[in-house]
Amino acid sequence: MDLRQEIQKRRTFGIISHPDAGKTTLTEKLLLYGGAIQEAGAVKSNKIKKGATSDFMEIERQRGISVATSVLAFNYRSKKINILDTPGHKDFAEDTFRTLTAVDSVIVVIDVAKGVEEQTEKLVEVCRMRKIPIIVFINKLDREGKDAFDLLDEVEQKLGLKVSPLSFPIGMGYDFKGIYNLWEQNVKIFKGENKQKIAETITHNSLADAGLAESIGDAALAELKESLELIEGVYPPFDQQAYLEGNLQPVFFGSALNNFGVQELLDCFVDIAPPPLAKYSDKRTVAPDESAFSGFVFKIHANMDPNHRDRLAFIKIVSGTFKRNTPYLHVRNKKKLKFSSPNAFFAEKKEVVDVSFPGDIIGLHDTGNFKIGDTLSSGEEIHYKGIPSFSPEHFRFINNADPMKAKQLNKGIDQLMDEGVAQLFTLNLNGRKVIGTVGALQFEVIQYRLEHEYSAKCTFENLNVHKACWVSTETEENDNYQDFLKVKQKFLAQDKQGQLVFLADSAFSLQMTQQKYPEITFHFTSEF
């Protein structure tokens, strides 16, 4: 099979939402329909409480939230589908923002009762900015929630999207009877009580089916017909080109926990979602069907297998084919590396692959060569843009709680910072280490992982910092810059890459510093 055919077979997408909208459950059910798992793990009955397949860090199982992006793949209708399940919690948003650089489309999950929530707004804004094609899945229809039309209005107003419903619910909560599939023009009746396996559904191929009124009742059928007329009058018909350009968003309704509406979503997704797309680098736009290989690191995960202390760099392949045991150029380090066991993923299961194609996500065993944003190529010195580190919002000193384990602590901090869990700053004045995170919950994750993965204990101490800004100037010799270094020395630090960072203690102090030193530029992301 040639490269173009392999590219056309692939669909790489991310699932994003506010916490607890059912994102991880939906991921599982997609795997269930793809035949990748036989039984889902998200069953919460009195006796059983299994963790979801894609949550494989111990802390995720304890807290019931995803704190790291997981990569899963399965085959469905002769397509290879790669899913990136992202954390919904705002404290882990940076991981999600970076993941959005590696996807070609996204599915946004919305809770039928809560509607559009704050975190969803932020993430969709990033997708809109990058013109990523979006499909909306309104979840948990088996629960009482907002009216379907009110939800569609909310999605349009709060998220700034232009929606085109491709399925529509018949009733909701206790009255939930099924779904009308506008994409395939049929009705699925909700019967399933089996949440773990795919349940049989009753399908009516048209509204005129004799048995339909019997299945859902005359009143529900009349209401459905009225709703469909309203949809036709108010919402634009689905246009695939407008969807691919990011100008129109199809909407599906369903209940992931009950496996309902998921297959309709998956079938339509396979038909309309884009194959791997071209990506901008600092020199040119790289097309996926170019013969030369290139790809970039969007995530690093230490200790995927705690017994082996292994560290994996997740690489999204942009162009060409990646072959095992072939030397590739690490653009930042300017050295050739080759990999004997590149991994493809299925949640906790990994398998070694000989060849991978654009759109695929592979895991490379890393001994510390990679950092997030690095590019690998067949030889061309290009750098993929758009994977910055953001300025943290919470800062604390990190102290060693067990002097006998200083080596383990340093190694642990070093590896977790490479993962992008948080950022490390070392004060110029006294060499004390400061951890900066986007969300406060990150400190808990760092403390937990240092203890359980590196046998190192730490404590945190509050530090009054408002913002971390990366500093640059045209020439370091000028008096203005030298004066800044002298006057602000107690607020200066180095990041992990040795770049100078100014830790402003308040918004006022930052503003005054910017005015006093006009020849210095203060950056709020590390990519400048």
Name the more confident of 253 and 59.
253
Q: What is the pLDDT of residues 509-518, one digit of tens each?
A: 999 999 999 8
Nearest of 314, 429, 427 to residue 374 by alpha carbon: 314
Q: What is the CATH number of domain 394-523?
A: 3.30.70.3280
Helix (H, G, I), strand (E, B) or coil at 500: strand
Average pLDDT of the chain is 82
The reply to whether domains 12-272 and 394-523 share a CATH topology is no
Q: Residue 379 to residues 25, 277, 310, 331: CA-CA distances in angstroms?
A: 41, 21, 27, 8
Find the helix or strand (DSSP H, E) in which 100 lies: none
279-377 placed in CATH 2.40.30.10: yes
Whole-number percent of the chain with pLDDT over 90 = 36
Q: What is the pLDDT of residues 298-341, one digit of tens each?
A: 888 766 555 555 678 889 999 999 999 999 999 988 999 989 98
Output the six-digit token pair for 359: 């759109």
Name the more confident of 21 and 205.
21
Output the six-digit token pair for 176: 């939930």
CB 525 within 8 Å of CB 390:
yes
Give the number of residues written for the chain. 528
Whole-number percent of the chain with pLDDT over 70 = 83
58 φ/ψ angles, rounded to the nearest 5 degrees = -55, -40
- Judged by average pLDDT, the poorest of 127-141, 143-157, 193-207, 408-422 is 193-207
pLDDT of residue 228: 87
Q: Give the chain's end-to-end CA distance (angstroms, integer).
A: 41
Position 65 pLDDT exceeds 50: no
Number of C-beta neighbours around residue 76 at 10 A: 19
Q: What is the pLDDT of residues 380-438, one digit of tens each?
A: 999 887 666 667 888 999 999 998 999 999 988 988 887 777 889 999 999 999 998 87
Q: How far apart are CA 294 and CA 339, in angstroms?
A: 15
Which of the listed CATH numbers 3.40.1160.10, 3.40.50.300, 3.40.50.800, 3.40.50.2000 matches domain 12-272?
A: 3.40.50.300
Position 137 pLDDT exceeds 90: yes
Q: Which of 28-37, 81-90, 220-229 has the highest mean pLDDT?
A: 220-229
Q: Model's pTM, two decimal places?
A: 0.76
Show me where the domains of the chain are located: 12-272, 279-377, 394-523
pLDDT of residue 359: 92
pLDDT of residue 218: 79
| Mean pLDDT, range 367-374, rounded to an integer | 83
- 85 - beta bridge partners? 15, 70
